[in-house]
Amino acid sequence: MSPRARVTGFGAFGAVVDNPSGEVARALAVRLTALGWDASAETLEVTFDAARSAPRRLLGRADDAWLVHVGVAEARRVITLERTAKNRAGARADVAGLVSPAILDVGGPPVRVTTVAVDAVAAALRVPVDVELGDDAGDFVCNALYYESLRATSMARHARSLFVHVPLMDRGVAGTVGRALAEAMVGVA
């Protein structure tokens, strides 16, 4: 059976009208498919509701899928492979105008950690943008999605979750990043 990956990017929010995370996600899924994976991509709304529901829906009954999420970090100039998600949310409203409770999962651990060898993925990633490892997925929808994704994959036998923050970039660079990320994932899968 071929490896499975469900990849997400985000749509527009605030000043980010053309969110590059969606293009990275599409290029990643297309390249994984070409490499023999069962991969698909979708663009999520920048809402806390999407962050809560998408991981369980994407994982479904499978216990062996990768959930790979891509989000934009406007202030960053590098690609960041996030190792952790925190059980917190800030007071910023999502695109639906809703603010998340400050604690994402009452009774949940303060931090969830990925089982993906992010250091190996980073070492294998060949892109025209610097790459670093991160331990702070923020306090907005990206972090909420990653926290929920790590929770969902922790309950499955062989599922994994990865969150990648990308800087603002044009579509061509975003496609290159997505394809390179696919190659790096295949190398460590």
Which CATH number belongs to the domain containing residue 84 in this structure? 3.40.630.20
**Token digits of residue 118:** 């992010």
> What is the residue whose two structure tokens read 């790590």?
150
Range(s) of the domain holding residue 96? 4-188
**Quick count: other Cβ atoms within 10 Å of Cβ 154?**
15
Strand partners, 87: none
**Residue 4 DSSP one-character state:** E
Whether the CB-CB separation of 24 and 177 falls below 8 Å is answered with: yes
How far is Cα 65 from Cα 184, in angstroms, rounded to an integer?
Answer: 16
107-130 confidence digits (pLDDT tens): 999 999 999 999 999 999 998 889
Whether pLDDT at 8 is above 90: yes
Number of domains the chain contains: 1
pLDDT of residue 15: 92
Q: What φ, ψ does residue 44 adopt, rounded to 5°?
A: -95, 150
